[in-house]
Structure 1
Amino acid sequence: MVLHPMWAQFPQLQKDLQATLTLMEQSIQLKNKDVETAILEMIQAGGKLLRPAYQILFAQFGKQTDHKKTIALAAAIEMLHTATLIHDDIVDESDLRRKQPTIRARFGNSTAVYAGDYLFVTCFKLLADYASSMQSLQMNSKSMEKILDGELGQMEKHYYIEVTIDEYLENISGKTAELFALSCGIGALESGSTTSFAKRTGDIGHNIGMAFQILDDILDYTQTSTAIGKPVLEDVRQGIYSLPLLYALKENPLEIKPLLAKKEQLTLTEAQQVFELVTASSGVQKAKKMAENYTNQALKALEKLPKEPAWAKETLIEITKLILHRTN
């Protein structure tokens, strides 16, 4: 069980993330051992654990830091994230995730649905056991609603050429940024911080999540499948039009729109044509600029956090900067 190499430079956090992974493993106990193994392999496949990392770090600013609870809530957050990934792979018909076959590819959609549902249940069991107030459970349920609303919003716009940048931002605000916001907010709230401070941390998490998703979409046009561990151009082939493409559409509609007009899955050749038109435009650069703006908003807010504990504040700033320059 090896953590992503990025955590080697943060030994204090690395130890807690290792404990988070261990608890996740111990919490997965299914009668169907094949599916249990598949879930464990996905958990162990080198995910960055960014959401639990932010949860753990913001927990350090509270007055009632309970290490066991902090690790349990971090595990719950990552289980929730993993469940959404399994369900995403079903909807997107994806065969590869984190450089290995998805659960749906190995066992079929039905088994993958139940595997994702099992992780949802395990997540809420940990929350019920360790969350100290109904407010945290309410935050979690409201966040789940926003995540699903974002996913449904994206699905509703499949193959829709006229999707706007504002609609794209609204969808990723739910499907990605909300879980970052939840991670930061619960980390603060459950460690005894005030509700207003938890709200501040949630806003920071939201900006981090927005930057993260925009950069994830940029990687589709700048990296190989091997580098990012999943197929590139899969979104555009399935009618999901992300920010680099939306900017390119505004710049060069006459060449790009005809390729998307048939409103059905593109061939690899057609997707490659779209790729070349997007990369030839300023779409990627404009998307990077927006990601930088969200990151800078988060960094400014992080600088205003209390000075102590210094290691937590410094680590938050450092990993937030690292996200902006990631290549996978």
Structure 2
Amino acid sequence: MWEKFPELQHDLQKTVQLMEEILHLKNKQVEAAILEMIHSGGKLLRPAYQILFAQFGPEKEPEKIIALAAAIELLHTATLIHDDIVDQADLRRNTPTIRSQFGNSTAVYAGDYLFVSCFKLMADYATSMKSLQMNSRSMEKILAGELGQMDKHYYTEVSIEEYLENISGKTAELFALSCSIGALESGSSQLFAKKAAEIGHHIGMAFQMLDDILDYSQASQKLGKPVLEDVRQGIYSLPLLYALKENPEDIKPILAKKAAMTKEEAQTIFTLVHETNGLQNAQVLAEEYTEKALKEIAKLPNRPTGVKETLLEITKMILHREN
């Protein structure tokens, strides 16, 4: 997706190269699995936003920008590895997960190793203590979002507000961190960094909602995971929550079966979500967050030339996607 943006593509390639260089595990099989995960089709969105927001600041330090972008992606990859453990997932981006190849214990250590690698890069390259504080607080929010979701497994009374709170930590926080650290570490004001964080938050919220919407509208081979797997694991996302509000009588008895839900019953859930306009209502809310992000990006400075336009184009691309 980055071919239209050659300079950014070059920086992202350097980001991946740095990640490859700093990964040194004694267990070479696990190291290879982590590298395979890094190369398995992730969009590198978070480091991309970090790099772009760094362009607005007066301090141009390419080595630091790339290092912090790598730290952001290492943090993201660590959270994915741990997510797969919690979700007992066998596939990620159509690739076997580390837990499915080596077991949960090894996967936990692999994720922890990436957390440490992230903080090492931050400690080596971040010039502001504020950035380290932001990084640690963001990790806290990410974990709180994950724990909030776990706490509501198989709980059919989850409110839209609770869902929004959980994805605010689980997904939006890392987008916010990417944008704000990019701005702050390039010498932008704390006020500008705060605005960057708000933009990242809106993007992350819409991005997660769209992922949840795609679970009800795309084939599993496009998503890289079995369709409605979240439902069968007791994770009730936005389209289903809207459907539950409209038709609890037909949906709750199926959900009550929990892990014993059959593929046919999952398909019934899929149909009911569509019939109750759960998908459309979720799309409306996702679009609201998308428009908030685009509106705030449009207010950004016009210099350096082309950065704002690139941000607008990329954000439209990822938030108007169909697969």
1:155 aligns with 2:157: no
Q: Relative to structure 2, which stretch is displaced further, 214-223 or 248-257?
A: 248-257
Which residue in 2 is equivalent to 1:310?
A: 305
Q: In percent, how many aligned pairs have the same letter?
A: 73
Residues 10-69 of structure 1: CA distance to partner in whole angstroms, max 9, x if unpaired? 111111111111111111111110000000000011100000000000000001121100
Residues 197-252 of structure 1: CA distance to partner in whole angstroms, max 9, x if unpaired? 00000000000000000000001001111111122211100111000001111111
Aligned length: 323
Which residue in 1 is equivalent to 2:263?
A: 268
Match of 1:240 among 235, 243, 252: 235
Q: Say whether the 8 Å CA contact 2:202–2:293 is kept in structure 1.
A: yes
**Runs of 5+ in structure 2 lacking a partner?**
none
1:211 aligns with 2:193: no
Deviation at 1:116, TM superposition (A): 0.4
The one-letter code of the counterpart of 2:288 is N
- What TM-score do you get using the length of structure 2 for normalisation? 0.98
Which residue in 1 is equivalent to 2:129?
A: 134
The CA RMSD over aligned residues, in Å, is 0.9
- Tell me, in whole angstroms, the C-alpha distance in 1 between the residues paired with 2:2 and 2:275: 35
The one-letter code of the counterpart of 1:114 is Y
- Tell me, in whole angstroms, the C-alpha distance in 2 between the residues paired with 1:222 and 1:9: 27
Following TM superposition, the consecutive aligned residue runs of length 4 or more in structure 1 with deviations greater than 3 angstroms are 262-265
Deviation at 1:280, TM superposition (A): 2.1
Indicate the SS of the match to 1:19: helix
**Runs of 5+ in structure 1 lacking a partner?**
1-5
Residues 284-303 of structure 1: CA distance to partner in whole angstroms, max 9, x if unpaired? 11111111100100111101
Q: Say whether the 8 Å CA contact 2:20–2:35 is kept in structure 1.
A: yes
- Tell me, in whole angstroms, the C-alpha distance in 1 between the residues paired with 2:43 and 2:276: 31
- Tell me, in whole angstroms, the C-alpha distance in 2 between the residues paired with 1:231 and 1:312: 37
The one-letter code of the counterpart of 1:147 is I
Indicate the SS of the match to 1:125: helix
Deviation at 1:262, TM superposition (A): 3.5
The one-letter code of the counterpart of 2:67 is A
Deviation at 1:93, TM superposition (A): 0.3
Q: Say whether the 8 Å CA contact 1:239–1:265 is kept in structure 2.
A: no
Which residue in 2 is equivalent to 1:3?
A: none
